[in-house]
């Protein structure tokens, strides 16, 4: 590994740690020429997954930031810890990357987000769903609440 300070190619690894749940390795290195220390990261290359947009024709590369942005917008001003959001994004991303097919639809990703938000925060779930399903009026919003509320009542009933 080349030293970023002096360009020397002779460096020594002084510490290695697994990070990101084993998906990467962080190495502390020592340059044998100038004596400075620096950190390097080794990651497996991401498999390119393409997302087919809802119009059915447009393909674009999967973007983790778009997925995270959806979560953060839905949970804005809610008491949802950032680490819970990040772990949710990690779980969905992991599920996407494990697929054999290198193409996924934005509809499938949206459903994954809705399922996860439903477990995390009811208000965030409804926020995301209202945008995702493009509610045109209050009746569509009420219909979604009508489907959501009976489930909540059944799950909170003792003995069920």
pLDDT one-digit tens code per residue, 4-50: 999 999 999 999 998 877 778 999 999 999 999 999 988 766 668 99
| pLDDT at residue 156 in the model | 52
How far is CA 64 from each of CA 26, 56, 90, 110, 129, rounded to the nearest angstrom? 21, 20, 9, 13, 19
Bridge partners of residue 25, in order along the sequence: 18, 42
| Residue 128 and residue 70 in contact, taking contact as beta carbons nearer than 8 Å | yes
In which band, very low, low, confident or very high, does the pLDDT at 152 lie, cut at 50, 70 and 90? low
| Residue 41 and residue 24 in contact, taking contact as beta carbons nearer than 8 Å | yes
| pLDDT at residue 149 in the model | 65
Helix, strand or coil, per DSSP, at residue 95: helix
Angle at 31 between CA 46 and CA 36, to 5 degrees: 100
Angle at 118 between CA 47 and CA 94, to 5 degrees: 15
- Verdict on whether the full-model pTM lies above 0.85: no
| pLDDT at residue 159 in the model | 45
Residue 129 is given by DSSP the state H
In which band, very low, low, confident or very high, does the pLDDT at 157 lie, cut at 50, 70 and 90? very low
pLDDT one-digit tens code per residue, 70-88: 999 999 999 999 989 989 9
pLDDT one-digit tens code per residue, 88-142: 998 998 899 888 888 999 989 999 999 999 899 988 988 888 777 777 777 776 7
Name the pairing type of β-strands 50-52 and 59-61.
antiparallel
| pLDDT at residue 154 in the model | 53
Q: Please state the three-class secondary structure of 14-71 as a single string.
A: EEEEEEHHHCEEEEEEEECCCCCEEEEEEECCCCCCEEECCCCCCEEECCHHHHHHHH
Average pLDDT value for residue range 46-56: 84
């Amino acid at each position: 590994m080349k030293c970023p300070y002096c360009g020397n190619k002779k460096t020594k690894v002084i510490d290695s740690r697994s990070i990101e749940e084993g998906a990467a390795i962080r190495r502390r290195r020592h340059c044998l020429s100038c004596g400075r220390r620096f950190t390097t990261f080794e990651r497996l290359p991401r498999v390119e997954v393409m997302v087919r947009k809802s119009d059915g024709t447009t393909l674009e590369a999967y973007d983790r930031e778009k997925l995270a942005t959806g979560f953060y917008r839905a949970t804005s001003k809610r008491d949802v810890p950032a680490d819970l959001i990040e772990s949710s994004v990690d779980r969905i991303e992991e599920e996407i990357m494990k697929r054999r097919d290198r193409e996924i639809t934005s509809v499938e990703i949206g459903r994954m987000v809705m399922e996860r938000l439903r477990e995390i925060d009811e208000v965030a779930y409804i926020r995301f769903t209202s945008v995702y399903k493009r509610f045109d009026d209050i009746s569509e919003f009420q219909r979604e609440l009508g489907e959501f509320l009976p489930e909540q009542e059944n799950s909170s009933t003792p003995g069920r």
